[in-house]
Structure 1
């Protein structure tokens, strides 16, 4: 095993890894428009004589897929990473919601500072996609013939996002929430095992799901000059009360539903309402949008009912007819920690980390692992740790953490992926793991 790992890792050079990261970061890939990047990845793999294709979903959205064919009908393994970025890289959409003004790290332009690469999505997901790309290239170049197919999947629409007008193909409503992973699995690439590369220096075997809900807060559409003469209820002010009560309740909700390695959180994510061109008026309604996470002990339907019950009680207390509508949902998922893929990933991680693996708890992040598991593929998740300091020694907030990757950590992740594949492919894998 150690000789095989060394043989593959000799193919992983710092130059190739850096070129993969910067090449992927330099191509914009907002949710719904990943086709250009998928084409670049497939072309790079074809250059290295790896069987690859662009799997088009529509005119602008696509996956990239590559396959190392197995020699003797063994179990197949998918190495997977999404391609789309959390923000778009366009100030028309990202300002002021993601930042008061565009920052260098929010642009799809790779900037190299020593071992750090900064640019939109450099840490999540593009650095992880680069690791999958380089791992498959190294396996192919090593000359080692796997007994089962090894598939590399680079998925479109991995972010929890609705379609954005002006990005992607007009008329497409379902460009996010794992559409690329679902399309990959449904159109020819359902494997025996899967490993998804997403942030977190750890191996996880389960993930929360999510429910998106819209809460309608009623008010009176009226005029500031008549406020003191007519019935008055400002839905904007009332929505603030509702939002604050929900935020408090989410903390209790998370504690009450903690299960396994999951502690499902909730947030009030956006507010919509009012007539911006009529500052003299109050709106008839305001919409609050919330994201509520759930564990494998819950379903989207039970979470929706629970939120509705809380909101209805709040409405009675406030004397307001508050309405709740579910607008999106992805169930939580779980892979048996004793399954071959989880055991192989843990063993691979321990070999690289040099310490015993201990699961991280209180997780509330969801990925395409949920979608792959829903398609019947046992899936483990592994990734890189968050970069602790920026290129100039600055503190790393959420946004910079998404947009920063350490090439040294990327190499470690490549080795974890390679070791996992080799462990799963070994003839005695079932006994050895």
Structure 2
């Protein structure tokens, strides 16, 4: 990527920026984060959290409204109007969590005894714990604190500030709740009055990104015949689906790794993982399953269409069947979301990079390659120039045990969020205090 385009702050803009940053209150941010983490809001059931945030955004001086999507689901959109003639900027974060943490999820999550895997919040010193306390609710609280500080600093805005939080942001498809997930909420929000000139998405990793991947969901089925544990191997007419699936899994894992390498470009490395294997019935272990199903997710580079990824996988299956003619396979692509990209020279991307460099005191340079999928891709696909900016993740040094790996994304050290808040504040002052023509609009 080219060097960041320099655009100077005037002395007055720098004064407004410093005044606004001085109003950022870590304790207030922590209290809000604790409150919203304590509201359980799995995908498709985040309406209570959105209702809470609608009231809170009203209380800080914004005009907010709830956007119901069902009895259990809804979004919130708030607005602060400037004097006129400027751009509108949306600060956006999802508000739903990726897990339910009910008994039915134990096979997915394990015992989930750790503090970040609980639907209720805990607060110790500068830490907040609980399901989603980092992602997404750390973002919800930080963006709200940025808006609050901007309002309290009485910065004379020309443009309009929007704050939006939506249900359905997690990469899931909850059929029991009207197929919530896969960015259904942000699409609803944007199509109902929330479309801005620019958007800023806060997500983990301490870089500025101008693009994000989509995702492709596949099922690969290995066919055999229904068997019986009492028959010897080699019995005519019996063909296991389970044992050959082990070979297929190994070959698929190699393909996924190669796929990510072949499709890497820009800021994106589209990783993928085998998510699970399904077959048989634990109540009937005497009968080997006639079908073993393997399902997985691969990420999709914005310069690669879901159809092209489908074709790549089809080629893999054809080649595997040529090499292993004894395998009986079929497959389907049952979910696809395209990636999204914004011109890296767009004003909002460059403004966020200037904010990043102002706080980090160094040039931005090349970011780590990204594989995580967010609603930012949907915003870009809807034609909204979008910048993603974040903070170091995961938090280090937690005073309580947290889950290994991704876990509940629920451990937040408040001081980690403050530099990111100041970077976002820089972009807001940079953008909302200028007339449209200075922003390329």
Common fold by TM > 0.5:
yes
CA–CA distance in 1 between the matches of 2:323 and 2:230? Answer: 29
Question: Are 1:412 and 2:419 an aligned pair?
Answer: yes
Go from structure 1 to structure 2 and tell me whether the alpha carbon gap of 1:144 and 1:107 turns closer, same or farther (over 3 Å shift).
Answer: same
Q: 1:101 to 1:137 in 2, by over 3 A?
A: closer
Q: What 5-or-longer segments of structure 2 have no aligned partner?
A: 1-12
Deviation readout 1:1-36 (Å, 9 max, x if unpaired): 221112222332222111111111111110110100
Distance, in Å, in 2 between the alignment partners of 1:344 and 1:430 is 15
Are the counterparts in 2 of residues 113 and 391 from structure 1 also a CA contact under 8 Å? no
Provide the residue aligned with 1:289 in structure 2: 295
Q: Assess if the C-alpha contact under 8 Å between 1:312 and 1:322 holds in 2.
A: no
- SS of 2:182's partner is coil
- Structure 1 residues 360 and 395, CA, compared in 2 at 3 Å: closer, same or farther? farther
Q: Which structure carries more relative contact order (alpha carbon 8 Å, separation 6+)?
A: 2
Equivalent position of 1:73 in the other structure: 85
Q: Deviations over 1:153-190 (max 9, x none)?
A: 1111111001064xxx4xx12x0011111111111111
The separation in 2 between residues aligned to 1:152 and 1:227, in whole angstroms, is: 65
Instruction: State the SS of the aligned residue for 1:130.
Output: helix
Equivalent residue for 1:107? 118
Contact kept in structure 2, 1:386 and 1:401, CA below 8 Å: no
Distance 1:240 1:102 in 2: 31
2:248 to 233, 242, 248: 242
The 2-side partners of 1:401 and 1:429 are apart by: 41
1:179 aligns with 2:184: yes
Q: TM-score, with normalisation over the residues of structure 2?
A: 0.92
Paired positions, count: 426
**Which of 54, 58, 79 is the equivalent residue of 1:46?**
58
Other-structure match for 1:309 = 315
* 1:224 aligned residue: 229
Secondary structure of the 1:138 match is helix
Of the candidates 424, 427, 431, which is equivalent to residue 424 of structure 1? 431
Q: Tell me by how many angstroms 1:226 deviates.
A: 2.9
CA-CA distance at 1:430 after TM superposition: 6.7
Shift of the 332–55 alpha-carbon distance from structure 1 to 2, 3 Å rule, reads same
1:218·1:284 contact (CA, 8 Å) conserved in 2?
A: yes
Instruction: Say whether 1:384 aligns with 2:413.
Output: no
**Aligned with residue 320 of structure 1, among 323, 327, 330:** 327
Q: What value does the CA root-mean-square deviation take over the aligned residues?
A: 2.0
Tell me which residue corresponds to 1:196: 201
- For residues 285 and 391 of structure 1, the distance between their equivalents in structure 2, rounded to whole angstroms, comes to 44
Shift of 1:65: 1.1
Work out whether residues 158 and 435 of structure 2, in 8 Å CA contact, stay in contact via their aligned partners in 1: no
Deviates further, 219-228 or 332-341: 219-228
Residue 226 of structure 1: SS of its match in structure 2? coil
**Distance in structure 2 (CA, Å) of the matches to 1:60 and 1:333:** 29
State the distance in 2 between where 1:368 and 1:48 align: 25
